[in-house]
Amino acid sequence: MISANDKVTPDLDSEQSAARTWFEQLRDLICAEFEAIEREAGSDARFAYTPWDRTDADGLPSGGGGVRGVMKGRVFEKVGVNVSTVGGALEGEFAKSIHGAGEDPRFFATGISLVAHMANPHVPAVHMNTRFLVTTRRWFGGGADLNPPLPVAEDTDDFHATLKAACDAHDPAHYPRFKQWADDYFYIPHRKVHRGVGGIFYDHLEGDFATNFAFTQDVGRAFLDAYPRIVRRRMAEPFTDADVAIQRAWRGRYAEFNLVYDRGTLFGLKTGGNIDAILMSLPPVATWE
């Protein structure tokens, strides 16, 4: 598997290295499972991987990089799984908006980000992201949320139950808090609608590294448990042109959120990330009427 190991800043400490290694391992596990689903559907689609280097405001190499993985298949109309490990200094006023960077703009970030848009409207789209950031503080953040154009209670309940079990294994207070955080965050104010049926979202989870790292790993494992099961449950269901029309209109709302409100999109653009990797969350086909 292509790795970003040769593109990272050279002086990673043990915590930074452990987090980076896990996100790359999770990427490999997820991509292998998604490719297996394509095999089951009679498709030979596979991920294509493109390494990239972080650049500064002048377009020059500037600390780290990542790997963008994209697959377009029979089940996954478009899925991107990105990993990145970058470091440097945040610029100007933006630094003041990042936890712990107001007085010292130097930062380190490593993480995985995934968005899947599905060919069958009955298969929910999904987003998952987990990350480790270092400024003058050290914290984990991320989560996962389900985005069905045509919601099915069984799938919503399954997804939430799996995430709740992962949360409860660490702290019973995590799930209700992080579920509400997702409900609040993944909301489109100008449409007055939620982006999907929710999940969990957390940020600035700092304190004991081992405890928070273990929780973040279990969030990734929970996603890998729940989402492929839901895909397999729905991917062979018949659908109509009317279903596709609903899906494409819903995708328009999804694009609006990611371009207008999503903090990860802004962070990537402000820190010299790869444009194609940052915008891989956008759907392949959408409509506005």
Per-residue pLDDT tens over the stretch 38-73:
999 999 999 999 999 876 655 545 678 999 999 999
| Structure-derived torsion over alpha carbons of residues 171, 221, 182, 138, reported in degrees to the nearest 10 | 70
- Decide which of 75 and 60 is more confident: 75
Q: What is the largest CA-CA distance in the chain?
A: 56
Tell whether the model's pLDDT for residue 9 goes beyond 60. Answer: no
Query: Which has the minimum average pLDDT: 21-25, 97-101, 149-153, 181-185?
Result: 97-101
Host domain of residue 19: 5-147+203-237+262-280
Query: Which has the minimum average pLDDT: 58-62, 152-156, 274-278?
Result: 58-62
CATH number of the domain enclosing 272: 3.40.1500.10
- The DSSP bridge partners found for residue 48 are 70
Please report, rounded to a whole number, the percentage of residues in the chain having pLDDT higher than 70. 93
Alpha-carbon span 206 to 190, nearest angstrom? 32
Alpha-carbon span 211 to 154, nearest angstrom? 31
Q: What is the pLDDT of residues 169-183, one digit of tens each?
A: 999 999 999 999 999
Q: And the tokens for 190? A: 């100008």
Is 273 contained in some domain? yes
Is 26 contained in some domain? yes
At residue 93, the pLDDT reads 81
pTM value? 0.91
Is 50 contained in some domain? yes
- Cβ atoms of 142 and 130 within 8 Å: the answer is yes
Is 185 contained in some domain? no
Question: Exposure string (b/e) for 112-142, b if CB count within 10 Å is 16 or more?
Answer: bbbbbbbbbbbbbbbbbbbbbbbbeebbbbb
Query: Which has the minimum average pLDDT: 69-83, 92-106, 215-229?
Result: 92-106
Is 33 contained in some domain? yes
Query: Which has the minimum average pLDDT: 6-20, 30-44, 73-87, 113-127?
Result: 6-20
Distance from chain centroid for Cα 280: 10
- Mark whether 127 is an active-site residue: yes
Residue 46 backbone dihedrals phi, psi, to 5 degrees: -140, 165
pLDDT band at 94 (very low <50, low <70, confident <90, very high): confident
Alpha-carbon span 203 to 218, nearest angstrom? 15
Is 180 contained in some domain? no
Q: What is the pLDDT of residues 207-261, one digit of tens each?
A: 999 999 999 999 999 999 999 999 999 999 999 999 999 999 999 999 999 999 9
Tell me how many domains the chain contains. Answer: 1
How confident is the prediction for the chain on average, in pLDDT? Answer: 92
Tell whether the model's pLDDT for residue 8 goes beyond 50. Answer: no
Is 11 contained in some domain? yes
At residue 59, the pLDDT reads 53
Catalytic: which of 117, 127, 174, 194? 127
Tell whether the model's pLDDT for residue 98 goes beyond 80. Answer: yes
Is 250 contained in some domain? no
